[in-house]
Amino acid sequence: MSENIYLSPEHETLREQVARFLAREVEPFAEQWERDGCVPREVLRKMGEAGFLGLMYSARHGGAEADALTNLVFAEALSQSTYGGFIITVLVHTDMASPHLHHAGNAAQQARYMPGVTAGRTITAVAITEPGAGSDVAGLKTTARRDGDELVLNGSKLFITNGVHADLYFVAARTGTARHAISMFIVEKGTPGFTVGRSLEKTGWLSSDTAELVFEDCRIPAANLLGEQDKGFYSVMKNFQTERIALAAMAVGHCARALELTLDYVRDRRAFGATLFDKQVVRQRLAMLDAKTRAARQYLYHCAWRVTQGHDVVQDVSMLKSLTGELVNEVVQACQQFHGGMGYMRGTPIERLWRDARILAIGGGATEVMLDEAAKRY
| Per-residue buried b or exposed e for 74-90, using 16+ beta carbons within 10 Å of the residue's own CB | bbbbbbbbbbbbbbbbb
Which candidate in 34, 76, 130, 243 is catalytic? 243
* Amino acid occupying residue 207: S
Contact 209, 93 (CB under 8 A): no
Q: Name the CA dihedral angle for 54, 58, 61, 64, rounded to a multiple of 10 degrees.
A: 50
CA–CA gap between residue 67 and residue 74 (Å, rounded): 11
Output DSSP code: residue 144: E
For residue 262, how many C-alpha atoms fall within 13 Å in the half-sphere facing its CB? 28
Inter-axis angle of helices 349-357 and 314-338, to 10 degrees?
A: 140
The letter for the amino acid at 112 is R
Which stretches within 94-231 are classed as H helix?
A: 98-104, 107-119
CA distance from start to end of the chain: 38
Report which residue type is found at 298: Q
Q: Are strands 182-188 and 168-174 parallel, antiparallel or unpaired?
A: antiparallel
CA distance 118 to 336: 37
Assess whether 212 carries a catalytic annotation.
Answer: no
- Measured CA to CA, the distance from residue 248 to residue 242 in angstroms comes to 10
Which residues are tagged catalytic?
243
